[in-house]
């Protein structure tokens, strides 16, 4: 398993291009199951999760062409040859559950393995299943698989989500595009990835309104057609790299970044004393001298502070001039980066869903362990500012969500390299 070695203390200056959003691409790709015409996705990120989704779709009979060095994906589903998404593929990536709604809508039946939990939480899919049942599907859980059928096709319904769920909103939305009649989805997720999915479905001929708000209305249509759609910029990669100049006292322009994608996060950075400016090419982030100010953070569904940036923000606040509180309200176990940051000299106490971070002047480099995707990059950010050398092990977590991280950071002056180790 590879490791990443970081020697801290360099001010980062330069430009970092932001790639297409992993979490948008992971729902846009299964949308291709809704039509027998090819769906072309441009600005696709080159990540292991995307390759996993490609393998899953190919196991169902899709043709997935990866063009222009992986930046363009063409997903063609002339027919779904196999309606069973196997556990050995689904367990690698929870987003695999997003093939369920489209297969049901297209052919009226599907067998999809339950994804199982992951490091950050149990992550059930009950809201996905309840939503699809509301659209008329019959679902049976057997041997760790969801056996779904809708022999008379799906029919529109009014669905009031008991809690906001990004994935459930995506699964239900995709299924509703081919259901007979109108679907009203209340308490829908409002993430930019949902908005991007709706823009793509609309290009394919879907009748949808209200994306980005808490109520989305879908008028079912008989069929959808192929389309070409650019994947929206990755707001989590953007926020992550905004922290690189913030934590090192540098000055970096994030190409393709848009403030509306990270508004709540950018507000918090400014409260901590970081400068965020919009430029023609994206967002420019800098920190003049002086310590970072402490701030309190509570994660929430969009447009609130994203849970996927909580670990990275904790790394920044570990060096603030005072005490900050980070409350994680989305996942039940998303502080695994805290003990690793403590190994680097951070002063962090976790009680239930709240981490109290008392800033220190300087972190110290140390060997640390990545536990999940966003924790791994939080440790790299800490290493950029720490004194000495930090070695982050198990960076396969990192490669799931960050394209060429060591290239993007070293282009801005970071001393960072990948240590390839025999498997
Ligand atoms: C998506 O996961 C993202 N993944 C996650 O990003 C992100 O953290 C999360 O949304 C929240 O923004 C993808 O888009 C592929 P949820 P998802 O359904 O859809 C509970 C990353 O780092 N819940 O909004 O699985 C769930 O347990 C990943 O890129 C149910 O109880 O998230 C969680 O506590 C990590 N039942 C909360 O809702 C359900 O049926 C929010 O989950 C579904 C979810």
CA of 81 to the centre of ligand 1 (A): 29
Instruction: Name the residue of 123, 161, 193, 374 to mutate for ligand 1: max ligand atoms within 8 A of Cβ.
Output: 123
**96 within ligand 1 shell (Cβ under 6 A):** no
Alpha-carbon gap, residue 245 to 11, rounded angstroms:
7
Mean pLDDT within 367-385: 95
Task: Specify whether the CB–CB gap between 139 and 129 falls below 8 A.
Answer: yes
Atom of ligand 1 minimally distant from the CA of 401: 29
Checking if the pLDDT of 423 tops 90, the result is no
Measured between alpha carbons, how far is 103 from 77 in angstroms, rounded to an integer? 11
In the reported structure, the alpha carbon of residue 401 is separated from the centroid of ligand 1 by a whole-number distance in angstroms of 15
User: Candidates 124, 330, 372: which one to mutate for ligand 1, based on the most atoms within 8 Å of Cβ?
Assistant: 330
Query: What is the number of the ligand 1 atom nearest to the C-alpha of 98?
Result: 15
Write out pLDDT tens, residues 190-236. 999 999 999 999 999 999 999 999 999 999 999 999 999 999 999 99
User: Encoding tokens for residue 340?
Assistant: 């690793």
Q: How far is Cα 399 from Cα 418, in angstroms, rounded to an integer?
A: 11
Residue range 34-83, pLDDT digits in tens: 999 999 999 999 999 999 999 999 999 999 999 999 999 999 999 999 99
Say how many CA atoms lie within 13 Å of 155 toward its Cβ: 4
> Which range, of 113-117, 282-286, 331-335, 362-366, averages the lowest pLDDT?
113-117
Task: Give yes or no for residue 120 having a pLDDT over 90.
Answer: no
Q: Is 118 a catalytic residue?
A: yes
* Distance from C-alpha of 165 to C-alpha of 187, rounded to nearest angstrom: 9
Instruction: State whether the beta carbon of 167 lies less than 6 angstroms from ligand 1.
Output: yes
Distance in Å, CA 38 to ligand 1 centroid: 28
Residue 25 Cβ contacting ligand 1 at under 6 Å: no
Please check whether residue 10 is in contact with residue 415, taking contact to mean a CB–CB distance below 8 angstroms. yes
Q: From the CB of 371, is ligand 1 less than 6 Å away?
A: no
How confident is the model over 136-144, as a mean pLDDT? 95
Report the mean per-residue pLDDT for the chain.
Answer: 96
- Per DSSP bridges, beta strands 251-255 and 13-17 are parallel
For the chain, percent of residues with pLDDT exceeding 70: 100
Q: Is 308 in the pocket of ligand 1 (CB under 6 A)?
A: yes
Report whether 158 contacts 184 (CB < 8 A). yes
Catalytic residue among 25, 118, 200, 412: 118
Q: What pLDDT, on the 0 to 100 scale, is given for residue 334?
A: 96
pLDDT the model gives residue 52: 95
This prediction's pTM: 0.97
Cα separations in angstroms, 392 against 242, 366, 376, 416:
20, 9, 7, 11
> Cβ(173)–Cβ(197) under 8 Å?
yes
């Amino acid at each position: 398993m590879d490791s990443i070695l970081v020697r801290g203390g360099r001010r980062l200056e330069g430009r970092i291009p932001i790639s297409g959003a992993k979490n948008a691409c992971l729902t846009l790709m299964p949308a291709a199951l809704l039509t027998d015409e090819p769906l072309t996705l441009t600005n696709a990120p080159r990540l292991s999760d995307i390759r996993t989704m490609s393998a899953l779709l190919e196991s169902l009979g899709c043709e997935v062409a990866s063009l222009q060095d992986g930046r363009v994906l063409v997903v063609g589903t002339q027919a779904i040859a196999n309606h069973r998404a196997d556990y050995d593929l689904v367990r690698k990536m929870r987003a695999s559950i997003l093939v369920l709604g489209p297969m049901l809508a297209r052919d009226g039946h599907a067998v999809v393995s339950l994804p199982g939990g992951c490091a950050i939480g149990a992550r059930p899919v009950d809201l996905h299943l309840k939503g699809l049942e509301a659209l008329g599907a019959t679902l049976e859980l057997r041997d760790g698989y969801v056996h779904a059928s809708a022999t008379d096709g799906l029919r529109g319904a009014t669905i009031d989500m008991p809690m906001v769920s990004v994935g459930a909103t995506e699964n239900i939305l995709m299924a509703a595009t081919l259901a007979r009649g109108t679907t009203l989805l209340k308490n829908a997720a409002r993430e930019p990835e949902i908005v991007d999915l709706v823009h793509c479905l609309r290009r394919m001929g879907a009748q949808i309104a209200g994306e980005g708000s808490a109520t989305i209305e879908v008028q079912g249509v008989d069929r959808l057609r192929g389309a070409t759609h650019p994947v929206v910029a990755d707001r989590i990669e953007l926020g992550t790299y905004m922290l690189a100049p913030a934590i090192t006292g540098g000055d970096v322009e994030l190409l393709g970044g848009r403030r509306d994608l990270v508004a709540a996060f950018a507000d918090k950075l400014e409260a901590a004393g970081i400068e965020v400016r919009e430029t023609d090419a994206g967002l420019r982030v800098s920190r003049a001298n002086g310590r970072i100010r402490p701030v309190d953070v509570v994660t929430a569904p969009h447009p609130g502070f994203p849970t996927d940036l909580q670990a990275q923000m904790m790394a920044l606040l570990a060096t603030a001039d005072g005490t900050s509180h980070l409350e994680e309200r989305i996942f039940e176990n998303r502080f695994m980066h805290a003990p690793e940051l403590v190994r680097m000299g951070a002063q962090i106490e976790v009680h239930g869903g709240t981490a109290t971070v008392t800033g220190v002047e300087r972190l110290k480099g140390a060997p640390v362990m990545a536990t999940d995707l966003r924790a791994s990059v939080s440790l790299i950010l800490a290493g950029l500012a720490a004194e000495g050398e930090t070695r982050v092990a198990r960076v396969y977590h990192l490669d799931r969500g960050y394209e060429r991280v060591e290239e993007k950071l070293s282009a801005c002056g970071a001393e960072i390299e990948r240590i390839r180790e025999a498997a």
